[in-house]
Amino acid sequence: MATPPETIFLGEAAAVAEPQSLKTAMDSTTDTDGELGFSTPSDESRKPSRWHQARTLAAAFIINFIVGGLLFSFGIYQALYQSMTNEETTPFHGASSAEIGLIGTLSVSVMTILAPFAVAWTHHLSPQVVVCSGGVLFGLANVLTSFGKALWHFQLAQGLLLGVGSCLAYMPSMTVAPTWFTARRALAMGIVSSGTGIGGLIWAPVTDACIKSMDFRDTLRLTGALAAALICAAGAALDWEPSTVTAPKTNDSKTVRLQGFFRGLLPGWEIAKQRTFIAQALGAALQSAAYYTPVFFLASYAKTLGYSDSDGANFTAVSNACNAIGKISVGLLADRVGRLNLFFLTTFLSAAVTLGLWVPSTVVGVAHPALGKALFLGFTVLYGLFASAYVSLFPAALVELFGLQQLRHVSGVMYMVQGMAALVGTPVAGVTVRGSAAVEASDDYTWMAVVVGALLFATTGAVAWVRGEVMMSHRVGRRLEWKA
């Protein structure tokens, strides 16, 4: 069975020295996974062929394209389900925006809440097994959703079960792909993660068109079957880079095999108690609590400005296109200006455009629809560009802060924190929408926009805290290190 290296997720070796406190903690935290046979990048004896790099890049991109693209297109279903709340014969009769929004929130939050387990299983088993299992569950979740008769059926199938399948498919793609790249790892992972945005760009209008031509239940069955086939095909091509794998030690003990499923889930206490770890976890929670709310409610909000269902789908597609552009651009710029510097700047800008464009759009949209539409269009483009950068830079920032040796222990917990925050943040934001789910005015969304903007500004403060910790730890006399 192929076993992965210690190096996971995107980012190159830290460009700057690690903080002394973190280095001390890492030195005191021993890796107990020796029987799994991990090797480090320094053990590489040959360069991977371009063919294998291209195959891995394509496989990981396809998984992001399917999983992320369909999840980020949930706004189409959100708007559809909300439009059915006044129909007594539908599963959504009398449901609120928050109750419907919980469906999409569950899927994206569970995808990251279970990250520590998915990463551990990808190490213990093979990437192919984990990804294909996720693909089957992903397709099954969509098919089961199509038979839903009550709101809770959709929350369990399109929410919880889809989230489990998404996690098992998505996390290995972000774990395995970096092992095939060295100098251009950040750019490669930017391309991989852009699959989410490009997928949303394509899936949003396709989903809308299918719903209009064959109703939403048949659309769920079609997309479920297609997604399962593509995810499994891509997963079959995903494997660890051979030169970074060593043979595992043989041990037939059932206890040892069982422990392998849960080993390495958490970082050591010496890492977890560091201020940098706390600040990074705080920022991850705040950002994730805000990030998905605009994505899921774009189509619904667009209808309050007078746009049609098709226009709402187009807004979702535009947002996802900008998402992809932002991720790739960040991958190109990060090494030039410093990953943590860009991390702070893009987070600040995503907060600024939310309070500067979306909030005014909700306020003036009733009396001045044209101005409200212009502001909303600007917000859709800029939020897609800047907010997505946080997602792309997050793993690279973890490399900078904690190093490669501790990354697989830290990353799972950080993604779990993000998922738990999203599980709370998006439903709470949905509750702030005034009235019933059949919203008629743009100013019903004002408090939602304010909450999202406030959370993103709080995230900016947490990122600044992280940047300050790194700057002070790298100080030489009175000289501060600005590029990090």
In a domain, 6, yes or no: no
- Mean pLDDT for the stretch of residues 198-204: 86
Q: Identify the CATH number of the domain in which residue 299 sits.
A: 1.20.1250.20
- Mean pLDDT for the stretch of residues 337-341: 77
- Mean pLDDT for the stretch of residues 341-356: 91
Q: Using alpha carbons, list the distances in angstroms from residue 478 to 124, 152, 279, 412, 466.
A: 47, 59, 24, 36, 19
Q: In this model, does residue 321 exceed pLDDT 90? A: no
Using pLDDT thresholds of 50, 70 and 90, give the confidence band for residue 141. very high
The more confident residue out of 372 and 181 is: 372
Predicted local distance difference test score (pLDDT) of residue 45: 46
- Mean pLDDT for the stretch of residues 394-400: 74
Predicted local distance difference test score (pLDDT) of residue 22: 43
Q: Considering the chain, what is the average pLDDT of its residues?
A: 79
Predicted local distance difference test score (pLDDT) of residue 260: 52
In a domain, 395, yes or no: yes
Predicted local distance difference test score (pLDDT) of residue 47: 63
Number of domains within the chain: 1
Q: 81: which residues sit within 8 A by CB, 6+ positions away?
A: 92, 95, 100, 103, 154, 437
The more confident residue out of 45 and 232 is: 232
Q: In this model, does residue 169 exceed pLDDT 70? A: yes
In a domain, 15, yes or no: no
Predicted local distance difference test score (pLDDT) of residue 351: 94
How far apart CA 137 and CA 144 sit, in angstroms, is 10
In a domain, 165, yes or no: yes
In a domain, 76, yes or no: yes
How far apart CA 174 and CA 8 sit, in angstroms, is 8
How far apart CA 109 and CA 288 sit, in angstroms, is 9
Q: What is the distance in angstroms between the CA of the first residue and the CA of the last residue of the chain?
A: 38
- Mean pLDDT for the stretch of residues 340-351: 88
Predicted local distance difference test score (pLDDT) of residue 404: 59
pTM above 0.75? no
Its domain, for residue 311, covers 20-30+49-243+255-473
The more confident residue out of 409 and 70 is: 70
In a domain, 480, yes or no: no
Predicted local distance difference test score (pLDDT) of residue 243: 61
**Least-confidence region, from 11-15, 83-87, 290-294, 445-449:** 11-15
In a domain, 3, yes or no: no
The more confident residue out of 423 and 240 is: 423
Convert the pLDDT of each residue in 234-269 to its tens digit. Answer: 999 887 766 655 444 445 555 545 555 555 566 667
What angle separates helix 185-236 from helix 162-176, to the nearest 10 degrees? 130
Convert the pLDDT of each residue in 255-312 to its tens digit. Answer: 545 555 555 566 667 777 788 888 888 999 999 899 888 887 887 888 888 888 778 7
Predicted local distance difference test score (pLDDT) of residue 261: 53
In a domain, 483, yes or no: no
Predicted local distance difference test score (pLDDT) of residue 67: 94
CA torsion through residues 184, 383, 168, 289, sign: positive
The more confident residue out of 172 and 156 is: 156
